[in-house]
Chain A
């Protein structure tokens, strides 16, 4: 619709270079080698994944590294079927929180490996509590999509 007054089309685009730091570097390097790494809190014994330098609840360092299972159960999910600016994953897609075996927090990733075209069919197939396992990309780049997605077991 034509507007009565002029508008300016503009965007903000600035380059940054952000530090992963030693902990996240080790976590993402783990993915490169098909390993999902977490850290264990010495106080509450929770295993946190992705790995991090401290437990946000106990506020103590978490120096112990743990290798986490590639399998787990679905905690939550949604089926995205629209587009938004900057969207990194082509819709339709399923984002999910997955409780990997042995971990005490959920791991955010995608569920895939089957047809996502119809939400009714997807709802019949995908259920919270459902078992899923990681599908790895052949070509890995030390980033989160070294795991392609998780698929139903």
Chain B
């Protein structure tokens, strides 16, 4: 790669409901990240925001709420609607263009204000057909889970173990919305709202103003003594009609292959030190681990059983607690990058993985049963 892009600073707020309104929260997180980097608003060159105006926002349009609060007055701001990991790459490209030395990528979501995620994702279904059936993200996931269990003999207990692991990890994460010590029985005994999924296997809806400051190589070195470098990105998109897809043949495999190629990674399980992945439904962490090449097809259950993805395992997955612990819908992908950055910098506090780290992976997904995926590779 001709140029290096560095992450110079990160900031996020807590997933629980805050007292502030959306406008002030956006301002505060922008102020926080600029202060951390010692950068004045006037020096910030470009801003990319990720948000959902209506479905996961409902408040107004981007022009009124997302620009002056993120320091964009008279600046070349641009935005991504939906999954914020795409906005991250958009910011990376702006630095790679050579026209900018600093770019603020900011994802804005105040889940506490929104209707339940299922009401929002129902609106992702086309109004002529799938929406009439009631299709939403949870329904698609429940169908995907059943095929996964049947095709590979995955047990519900193995899926539940993801919740047990992630919510325990979240005890070390002051930003996590949901956390605690639970058992597999707690998880499987929670309300069976959409069989085979139980309530605890489904991510909550959280707040999340998440910011990340990107900089060119020289600028990043000036702004921080611990820059984290962008190494690769890949994304991939499957068919829209859920019936057109094999729900176990996810486009994450092609997204990961693209990111690994760009980053020069040939043995992901060995070369990646920690992964922060988007698992709004517990079993999806198992499938995504397979698709990311951490284990073979159908081996996700065995992998969680082995302890490899625990904080102490050889490839810790979601030491932050992941999306099951904190689900600011639009911001969750960028939050994975922030968490991976904190791990690489050794600044993850109580959730810090205790080993020498060189490479981290961040993953985002949105759409029904993982219709769209994005993977970013970071390094130090």
Binding site for B on A (CB under 8 A): 4-5, 10, 12, 18, 20, 24, 28, 48-50, 56, 75-82, 84-89, 93, 95-97, 105-110, 119, 122-123, 128, 143-145
Question: Which of B127-135, B162-170, B307-315 has 4 or more CB atoms under 8 Å from chain A?
Answer: B127-135
Contact between chains at B119 and A84 (CB < 8 Å): yes
Contact between chains at B142 and A18 (CB < 8 Å): no
Q: How far, in Å, is B92 (CB) from chain A's closest CB?
A: 29
Contact between chains at A78 and B129 (CB < 8 Å): no
A68 to B129, CA, bound (A): 17
Which of B135, B147, B150 makes the CB contact (< 8 A) with A108? B135
> B192 — which chain A residues lie within 8 A by C-beta?
81, 119
Question: Which residue in chain B gives the minimum CB-CB distance to A143?
Answer: B132
Contact between chains at A20 and B150 (CB < 8 Å): no
A145 to B134, CA, bound (A): 12
> A85 — which chain B residues lie within 8 A by C-beta?
115-116, 118-119
Q: How far, in Å, is B332 (CB) from chain A's closest CB?
A: 20
Kindly state whether residue B191 has any CB partner on chain A within 8 Å. Answer: yes
Question: Which residue in chain A gives the minimum CB-CB distance to B147?
Answer: A76
Q: How far, in Å, is A73 (CB) from chain B's closest CB?
A: 13
How big is chain B's contact interface, by range? Answer: 35 or more
Contact between chains at B143 and A78 (CB < 8 Å): yes
Given contacts A76-B247, A88-B134, contact A95 B116 (CB under 8 A): no
Given contacts A78-B146, A82-B194, A128-B150, contact A110 B128 (CB under 8 A): no
Question: Which residue in chain A gives the minimum CB-CB distance to B150?
Answer: A128
Which of A4, A20, A79 makes the CB contact (< 8 A) with B194? A79
Question: Which of B8-16, B237-245, B288-296 has 4 or more CB atoms under 8 Å from chain A?
Answer: B237-245
Q: How far, in Å, is A106 (CB) from chain B's closest CB?
A: 3
- Between B118, B146, B196, B243, the greatest number of chain A beta carbons within 10 A of the residue's beta carbon is seen for B243
Chain B 113-152 interface 0/1 with A at a Cβ cutoff of 8 Å (1 = within): 0011011001100011111111110010011111100100
For this complex, 20 residue pairs linking A to B, each with C-beta atoms less than 8 Å apart, are: A12-B54, A28-B128, A56-B244, A76-B144, A78-B139, A78-B195, A78-B197, A80-B139, A80-B193, A81-B193, A84-B116, A85-B116, A87-B122, A88-B134, A93-B134, A95-B139, A95-B143, A108-B130, A110-B133, A123-B195
A28 to B126, CA, bound (A): 14
Contact between chains at B195 and A79 (CB < 8 Å): yes
Contact between chains at B239 and A80 (CB < 8 Å): no
Which of B19, B191, B241 makes the CB contact (< 8 A) with A82? B191
A108 to B242, CA, bound (A): 8
Contact between chains at A106 and B243 (CB < 8 Å): yes
Q: How far, in Å, is B142 (CB) from chain A's closest CB?
A: 3
A109 to B193, CA, bound (A): 19
